[in-house]
Structures are given as structure tokens and as C-alpha cells.
Amino acid sequence: MEHEAPGDARQIGGGVDRRGALAGALGLALAAGCGTGSSSTGNGHGSPTPTVPTSPTTTSASPNPPALPATSPWLPGPGEIQPDVKLRAVQLVEALGSWPTGGQGVSAAGARVAPLGLDPALADQAGPLLSAADRAALQVIDAQYGGILTDSASVLVVCDQWTQSGADAVAAGGTTVDVRLSAATPRWTVTALHPAEPGPAAATPAPDAARILSDDRIQLPPAAAADLRSGAVHPSVLTAMLTLAQVYTFRVSVVRSGHPLDVFGTTRPSDHPLGRAFDVWEINGRTVVDPTTAHDLVDGFMRAAAAAGSYNVGGPRQLSGGSTPNQFFTDDTHHDHVHVGFDS
């Protein structure tokens, strides 16, 4: 089971050791008007969304290349549990992944970290956030809990990033970083960074993966899209995404890489690193964490996910029913997203 419980966890790409019917559910969603939600006009956390490319692109080089996209700081919105814990993680990633001309390199990144009151040596763990590019801009898409306990937390910081050198073209990319924190005064402190490592793209992507990557009803951040291209995502996940997209538009935060190896606080393997789970932070333009988002929308999505074959559906509220006693669950970690897991 994916259900969360107390302790610490391992991480993909962190350099450490690994360890009803569908029709009825879809009908409930349609009855609630879930197929025609409004489009999002912000990042769901109180900050305006910049006008940026929606998929990795490269512009042609010219003597006067276009400027890097304008970005805005991520800010927590209503409904967050311990919002400053997320903000602490995000501010570190924003400092590491954005720099003016000449600010590249680990040493310069460490200098940007120090004013946050964090260890400059964390820059050594930044991985793909740092490059040799002359300048970079980073936009946080979402900050989601990978786990939140009394004295420790995992915040999954999902981001787009653009880099440029000289008059070269702007290169678009991005990653997801599992930021580990420990309780401290006056603010929590960051203890480690674990950037996603999706792996190389498969020579031939699975047909369902290709369909998802081209489906504008399913929005994937860079690391999750790379997971699908790698061929390491289980067919049950791909089928469920396509099934849910018949009724909903939704934004995925994490699939396989960038997620803790174990269910946070336990030694039980998470379904995410096995390619058997995905998390959703926005449904029909409404963020899961926002207390004004209609319960029927999120609950309907959870029930539709269960009807699509998920044995383990987590979200902000405990739902009744299900094909097994523990098919639905809730906890503090899942107040900000819907977890959809598969056992095969």
C-alpha cells in the first residue's frame, strides 16, 4: 500500500540505496459538470503564471536572441498544511536554478543559497538544476508533499527551467527535486536534495505513452514526460491516464522519478519508483489543495481512478466504499494531490 506513515525514506536518483464500474464513476463526474472545468489562470498558489513555453522548445539562434521567459516566485495559497515548509524548499530550488549572466557554476550557486540561511554545500546536490549556461530562469510549477511528519518532510518541487549562453538559442527543460527538510527554529532547514533521474528515452515509446504525450487534456511536467518517454511506466498507469482524460483535464506532478523510493516515514517501497503510480495536483483547472475546489470534483476523480483499476487512491478526504477496505485513504501528505497507484 502507498498509505503514508512516520519515519525517513530513500530516493530515486539521490545517489543512495534503493530499496461501481468505470462507467458509473465517469457518469458521476459528468453529472457534477467535471468535464468542462475552467482553465487555470495562475499557479494555484497565489502567484501569477508567467507566459512561458508549455513544452521543451528551442528557438533559432540570432544576433539578438529572445530573452529568457519572465518568471514569478511560487507562493503558498489557502489550504496548505505548514505552508512555510513548502516555501523553504521552493526558495532553495529557485535560488539554485536561476542566475544572471555569469552566475553559472556550483560556487556561484552556493553563494545564492547562503542568504537563505541554508548550507551553501547543498549546491553540490543540485544536479540538473545547474549547468554551464551563461544565464538561467526557473519557474516552479507545483510544490507537493512527498511526506510531512512532525519533525521531517519531503517536498517535491516541480519546475520548468530555461537556459541560454551568449547569443545561442534558449533551451527549455526542467526537473523535479525531492527536497528533504528537518524541523528547526525559526524555520525548517533543508538536509538534502534528490533531483529526478528519469533515464534515457526508449528507442520506440509505447503507443499509449505517445498518445498521452500528445494529449492536451493530460499535462505533464518535464520529469514526468521523460518518465513516459523512458518506457519505465507500467501499462496500467498509461491506460488509467487515458481513461480519466475522457472526462477530465488534469495536471500531473510526479510519475516515477523525483519521488521517494519508500513511502515516506516507512521502509515500504512506494509504487512510484516502480512506474506504477502517478500524482495529480490540478483537475479541470482547479487545484486539489484549494479549499474552494468543489469536493464533488476531487472525490469524483478519485472514484473514477479506482474504477480505472487503481487499488490505492489517496486524496484530501477519506472516501467510503471501494472494492477493498483500504482502496481509498487520506492523510496530511495527500491533502494537496490525488495519488493513483497500481499493484500490477
Q: What is the pLDDT of residues 27-57, one digit of tens each?
A: 433 333 333 333 333 344 444 445 444 444 4
What number of other Cβ atoms are within 10 A of residue 39's Cβ?
7
The pTM assigned to this predicted structure is 0.83
| Fold match flag (22-40+198-341 vs 83-195) | no
Distance from first CA to last CA of the chain, Å, rounded? 12
pLDDT for res 323: 84
What are the grid coordinates assigned to 296, written together?
A: 464533488
What number of other Cβ atoms are within 10 A of residue 116's Cβ?
17
Residue 14 reports pLDDT greater than 70: no
In degrees, rounded to 5, the angle at the alpha carbon of residue 40 between the alpha carbons of residues 163 and 87 is: 60
Residue 340's nearest CA partner among 228, 256, 226 is 256
- If one looks up domain 83-195 in CATH, what number appears? 3.10.450
Give, as one character, the DSSP assignment of residue 123: G
Question: What are the helix and strand counts (H, E) for the chain?
Answer: 7, 11
What are the grid coordinates assigned to 57, written together?
A: 522548445
pLDDT for res 48: 44
What whole-number distance in Å separates Cα of residue 260 and Cα of residue 249?
A: 26
Cα pseudo-dihedral 45, 49, 55, 57, rounded to 10:
-140
pLDDT for res 63: 58
pLDDT for res 2: 53
What whole-number distance in Å separates Cα of residue 279 and Cα of residue 144?
A: 9
Assigned CATH class of 22-40+198-341: alpha beta
Regarding beta strands 312-315 and 152-164, do their DSSP bridges make them parallel or antiparallel, or are they unpaired?
Answer: unpaired
119: pLDDT confidence band, cut at 50, 70 and 90?
very high
The domain locations on the chain are: 22-40+198-341, 83-195
Q: 187-243 pLDDT, tens per residue?
A: 999 999 999 999 999 999 899 999 999 999 999 999 999 999 999 999 999 999 999
